[in-house]
A and B are shown apart, each in its own frame.
Chain A
Amino acid sequence: MTDLSQNPAGAAPRKHGGSLLEKSPHTKKRNAAETRFKAYGIAAITAGLIMLLVLVTTIVGKGTGAFQQTFVTLNVELLEAKLDKKGNRDLADIKKVTTFGYAPIIKGAMEAVIEELGIETSLKSKELAGILSKDVAAQLRDYVIANPDQIGQTVEFRFLASSRVDGYLKGRVSRDSIVNDKNISAEQLDLVDALAAAGVLEKTFNLDFIFGADASDARPEAAGIGVSMLGSLFMMLVVLALALPIGVAASIYLEEFAPQNWLTDMIEVNISNLAAVPSIVFGILGLAVFINYMHLPTSAPLVGGLVLTLMTLPTIIISTRASLKSVPPSIRDAALGVGASKMQAVFHHVLPLAAPGILTGTIIGLAQALGETAPLLLIGMVGFIASNAPETLADGLLAPNSAMPAQIYEWAKRADPAFYERAWGGIIILLLFLVTMNTLAVILRRRFERRW
């Protein structure tokens, strides 16, 4: 049994007559082994907690930058000669001016502000405009088309700075790192410093990251996670609408009605197996059945929702069964005793009592589905720019969209490191959702769970 009863090789037998207060070498060795063993355990836990700490600090440290963005405030003179040559404010004519037509106006505005502030620079006007985002011309054009009456006036605008300038203010881009960068020069950074000192260029909270749409490869500063958040929302609606009723129905049958036979056994085995099937296999199923066979649209949140439903069903069934099981048989017996049918006993008495537990399990299942990425890759929710927010319910379900985790993956794949900051920022938002859902589940459980 233990080392006590034998004399292990190498350890001297305890000599009689020695002091009891003095520990024998053998005891010392055993005590040392004990301390070592305990230390391993502490080391393991510390290692795990350190990993968690590193993970969280990395996410927070690298992601918070995405919530801030550098903006340049400029007074722009909307020259009539450039924007509406005929001067009749005809929308069709105004729309004919492409974003290229707006470039001189932006350059002019930059030159004006530099002159006003008295900054000396040898940069050409094109390089001056280079510190602004490529998105600016489109923003200006949208404004002019929406407000044609403002042509000829001077309007104050808040423009996005380019991602390099933004990175410079956030410390991601340094003067050393841009030596071979053709998108920005040291001269431009001098100008940025001067503009920042004058308060024209400043870093502020960026709401567009949370609610905005994704942007193309060249404009990381304009990319937001809002549209893919909607995609995730529609997927979760599908999952909730399908997985909850089906999961609850299946659990009620298995827990309350199922006779002990081969069919029941088969269902049980299948559910426990499905819970362990890798998520990517569900993606293959979705691709083969929903897209290739049923011809549902690719990249649609409906398809994503269906796939995630199949994936979360086992989770919901397992937790629902546990909460049905925790309702004591006396409740059923009492209901049956006063003349309820078995169905009535279950639906009128057991189910309401189990509802908090079912809800908790469902929220946890939804949280799991919200963070799942692999199946979404296969049904085509990556590889494009999710830029259009859906307007109707049908649009939201059927129009191609991304989802939060898929959007993060998409950003992580892009070449410009400015997107990495967005990816970490997206993870913060995703984790906030998950934390909220899990907290909700814990509160529900604490608040409503009954001990019988």
Chain B
Amino acid sequence: MPTFWLVALLIALSAAGFYGGRRRAIATAAGNVKDLHSLPSYYGYHVALAAFVPAIGALAIWLLAQPMFIENRVSGMIPAEAIPESSSIGLVMSDVRRVAEGLDLAVEQGLLTAREARNAVAGEQDLRALMGEVGVALGSKVRPEVLNAAQAYRNLSHTGRIAMTVVVALLALGGFAFAYARTHKDFRARNVVERAVLALLILAASLAILTTVGIVLSMLFETKNFFGLHSWTDFFFGSTWAPNFRGGSELSILPLLWGTLYISFIALLVAVPVGLFAAIYLSEYASGAVRAFAKPLLEILAGIPTIVYGLFALLTVGPALADLFGKGGLLGVEWMTGATSVLTAGLVMGIMLIPFVSSLSDDIINAVPQAMRDGSLGLGATKSETVRQVVMPAALPGIVGAVLLAASRAIGETMIVVMGAGAIAKFSANPLESMTTITTRIVSQLTGDTDFASPETLVAFALGLTLFVLTLGLNVLALYIVRKYREQYE
């Protein structure tokens, strides 16, 4: 793990810089700390930061950029005619990477010497068998073009690694030397250090933007690839979801969207009335003791991980519903064939969302000023009339916002639907049939062996982007409604 040692070296160097810088500053003031511009430790931080920050930044950027650079160079080396009919440049590149990795492993395990690995010629030895021995599975024999590219790949990444070590070490030493040389009793170390720290703080805060950009770009990029392989009209307007790894898949989002919305609708049908009435009772009727008892208990439901709800749906609610509605069930009807269904997932998701709706609504109801209630009660209205005709209208925008947020949660929820909803994509209005959702399909298309050159895998990114846009849209809409229609009482 050379990167690990490089980082360890940087940490050691900056620790040395701290003590070195401090000592030098005190020395230039002839031991009289009061003559220094800043406190002695600031001189230390100055040298330590100068040695550490530029070097670690360079390291991070290098680690990010090197794969892209090498990929570009190497894929340029593969002639177009070397790519087989049924394949693509992406598949050939993944072969190249695997061969390169296999050669490295073979050297590491002592099956080949470094020189043998460098001079390996396709066809001369059975490279495929060798790769199998070190645990790298190859689909076919290694072709000369692939081997050449793999050698170039190894060379480039080897050179890259050495260059990275040199550059990082030089930057660290250079920073150290520069800062150390600047250290003098009149040097304004505190100002420099504080400016550097502020820059680091800004960097940390910008990570939020970077994450969003990362999410959008990574999905956008793969979605573009997907639409290069599959028609976008089928994706958005088709009517069938039938992935087929041998090609000729029909990948339409509509049946999935139907399943997602149906399950979310049932979840909201459970969560909104229960959550809303619970919030009304807790904030308007309940005594302090009841509130202190019931509110935290309800909120426990929100802290339970979704895997628990998923298991509950799969092993308890599903079989219970099947006992009621299934073959030989208590009701004597045969409406349900398996344990997974829209109702199973919807009910359990509804339970999960109860505290979400109730605590949000509780906050909103509490924000309605007491004077309005007093006015209404003073005119002779009963408590329920006050709630229905005064408090609710005032709290309505906030409650609509809360319901929209709950809907966005329901649409993006994964584990409950993966375990409780089933895997059949279809348009059906029967809540006792199993249906599938966007999130379940993302999971099933991206787990196991994924091949980033087939539309069946890439469709997951298009689904993910749609999901992202959908939930983001709901959140923005919720925020907009709350802002626009909120009553200001101050």
Contacts and interface: CB of A to CB of B under 8 A. Distances in A.
Interface of A: 1-4, 30-31, 33-34, 36-38, 40-45, 47-49, 51-52, 55, 58-59, 62, 245-247, 249-250, 252-254, 257-258, 263, 266-267, 270-271, 273-274, 276-285, 287-289, 292-295, 310, 313-314, 317, 341, 343, 367, 370-374, 377-378, 380, 382-383, 394, 405, 408-409, 412, 420, 423-424, 427, 430-431, 434, 438
Given A33-B384, A271-B208, A374 B447 contact: no
B274 A47 contact: yes
B209 A267 contact: yes
A317 B4 CA distance: 28
Contact of A373 (B306, B380, B383): B306
Nearest to B200: A249
Contacts, number: 271
A37 B387 contact: yes
B311 A274 contact: no
Most buried by B among A254, A257, A377: A377
Given A2-B389, A263-B206, A374-B418, 12 more contacts: A30-B382, A41-B277, A58-B316, A266-B209, A274-B212, A281-B468, A284-B218, A295-B97, A313-B208, A370-B305, A374-B414, A380-B447
A216 to B, nearest CB: 18
Contact of B415 (A43, A409, A430): A409
Q: Name A's interface SS.
A: helix
Contacts of A371: 304-308
B413 interface: yes
Contacts of B306: 371-374
A342 B471 CA distance: 40
Contact of B207 (A43, A246, A370): A246
Contacts of B198: 253, 257, 343
Contacts of A246: 204, 207
Contacts of A284: 215, 218-219, 442, 446, 460-461, 464
Contact of A250 (B205, B376, B460): B205
B303 A45 contact: no
B208 A289 contact: no
B114 interface: no
B206 to A, nearest CB: 7
A434 B312 CA distance: 18
B448 A383 contact: yes
Nearest to B274: A44
Nearest to B38: A341
Nearest to B282: A45
Contacts of A405: 305, 307
A434 B308 CA distance: 12
B263 to A, nearest CB: 14
Nearest to A36: B384
Nearest to A256: B201
Contact of A285 (B215, B316, B412): B215
Interface in B184-209: 190, 194, 197-198, 200-209
A1 B439 contact: no
A371 B475 CA distance: 24
Contacts of A270: 208-209, 211-212
B429 interface: no
Interface string B432-443: 000000010011
Given A30-B385, A374-B443, A383-B448, A313 B308 contact: no
Contacts of A408: 307, 311
Contacts of B129: none
A280 B379 contact: no
Given A257-B201, A420-B315, A280 B273 contact: no
